[in-house]
Structure 1
Amino acid sequence: MFWYHDEVEQLARKEILPKGEKMRVLFYGSSSIRLWSTLAEDFPEFEIINQGFGGSTLAACCWFFNKLIPAYKPDAIVLYSGDNDLGDGRHPEEVYLFLQNMMEHIKESCGNIPVGIISIKPSFNREHLINSIHYTNKIFKNLLDEKYSNGTLINVFDEMLEINKSSRELYEEDGLHLTDAGYQLWKRAVRDQFLQQFVASSKDSSTKM
């Protein structure tokens, strides 16, 4: 894990500000999270923290979890990882075990907070892995449905796969990282499938007061 050292150390040194009135949502995972530069603008209803680090695997996210996450006391976590594990040759069942490990880390350190897992994306760079990606997303969902009631799989796979059939607009030239259009799709999915429930419940509470 030494190749992540410099970036992880930089993240670990970030100032931890006191929590305000907004729900604190921490985004964690690989470069698809790290490069999401508009997170705070995309979700202004929340206090956003970005702890993504480039090239990270789900294995690495588990390894560095205690160093990077609990001190921020998140109210919810959005995770994107597993993509690079498959790219490195790991089998879906291995990645499944890492997600289970991650969910246990969250439970032990942060409590039973809501967790949104963004499904692994279908990218041009990893077209040869499409069946493994699809299967990994399926067993991710099964794990969350069967064992973690606080976990939600945020499905970006189906819509991205459909768009990929006729356009490369969601991806940079490397066929792996997202363009602004790709992040707009992720923004809608994260909001509609995960974060919107907290906005609604917040509004309901304020109406009753």
Structure 2
Amino acid sequence: MLKITLLATLLFSLVWSQAHRFEAEIQAFEKQDKQSPPPAQPILFTGSSSVRLWPNLQQYFPDKVVLNRGFGGSELSDVRFFADRVILPYKPKQIVLYAGENDIATGKLSAQQTYDNFVDLFQYVRQKLPNVPFVYIAIKLSPSRRQYWPVVNEANKLISQFLAKQSDATFVDIRPSMLGSNKQPLPALFKSDSLHMTDAGYQRWAPVLQPYLK
């Protein structure tokens, strides 16, 4: 009976993995890694489309060895689900994460639920990679998701307070760099969907992040 139960569990895990909405993207990373081995001990950027769509990431940090493993419109739970495949195998020198925005706007999670998902991911990675510095990029204020800003700000606050108590963990608040004199997000930093960023947006992010990269 025990063997049958274990077999059923393994089969369920396999089917669930294959059915995951981002499985194809993760497999594409794995295929790419076989064809062209990734750099050793990179600064690993991962998370949702704000990382995935960062053009020419290496050019923004020419003095660093970076690797982009952002995928889909991922949520924190997705990054946790694939952590064994998009984070751990690279033995990163440092981890930089942007995720949580989709948890709130797409998953309709509360600030507390988003925070809980972050802590779950952070603790799992920290258990596996205890000496690897961790950087969390604050959830940005996307104009198209204005109705979620109060939840976004509360989630950022909770995550920031948590990371302040951790070793080698940093909360990097990119929000001020994206605001104009009217304290509103600059439209030029966003594409036509008022969600994803233009190169100008990443040009605001890079100098804010630079001092925290190892």
Q: TM-score range by the shorter chain?
A: 0.7 to 0.9
* Structure 2 residue aligned with 1:120: 139
Instruction: Measure the CA separation in 1 of the matches of 2:114 and 2:146.
Output: 18
How far 1:177 moved relative to its partner?
0.2
- Partner secondary structure for residue 26 of structure 1: strand
Percent of residue pairs bearing the same amino acid type: 31
- More deviation, 24-33/152-161: 152-161
Instruction: Measure the CA separation in 2 of the matches of 1:29 and 1:59.
Output: 10
Instruction: Measure the CA separation in 2 of the matches of 1:18 and 1:169.
Output: 33
1:29 aligns with 2:47: yes
Partners of 1:170 and 1:181 within 8 A in 2: yes
TM-score normalized with structure 2 length: 0.84
How far 1:18 moved relative to its partner?
5.7
What is the CA RMSD across the aligned residues, in angstroms?
1.7
- Structure 2 matches for 1:1-209, cutoff 5 A? 2-15=20-33, 16-17=37-38, 19=40, 24-88=42-106, 89-146=108-165, 148-162=166-180, 165=184, 167-192=186-211, 194-195=212-213, 198=214
**Structure 1 segments unaligned to the other structure (5+ residues):** 199-209
Cα displacement string for residues 79-99 of structure 1 (whole angstroms, at most 9, x for unaligned residues): 000000001200111111111
The number of equivalent residue pairs is: 191
Cα displacement string for residues 135-165 of structure 1 (whole angstroms, at most 9, x for unaligned residues): 111101011012x221101101223244662
TM-score normalized with structure 1 length: 0.86
Shift in alpha-carbon separation, 1:104–1:176, aligned structure 2, 3 A: same
Partners of 1:79 and 1:117 within 8 A in 2: yes
Instruction: Measure the CA separation in 2 of the matches of 1:159 and 1:26.
Output: 22
Which structure has the larger Rg over C-alpha atoms?
Answer: 2
Partners of 1:27 and 1:50 within 8 A in 2: yes
Instruction: Measure the CA separation in 1 of the matches of 2:125 and 2:195.
Output: 28
- Partner secondary structure for residue 50 of structure 1: strand
Partners of 2:178 and 2:186 within 8 A in 1: no
How far 1:67 moved relative to its partner?
1.7
How far 1:111 moved relative to its partner?
2.2
Instruction: Measure the CA separation in 1 of the matches of 2:158 and 2:185.
Output: 28
- Partner secondary structure for residue 169 of structure 1: helix
Cα displacement string for residues 167-207 of structure 1 (whole angstroms, at most 9, x for unaligned residues): 40110000000011100011111113x12xx3xxxxxxxxx
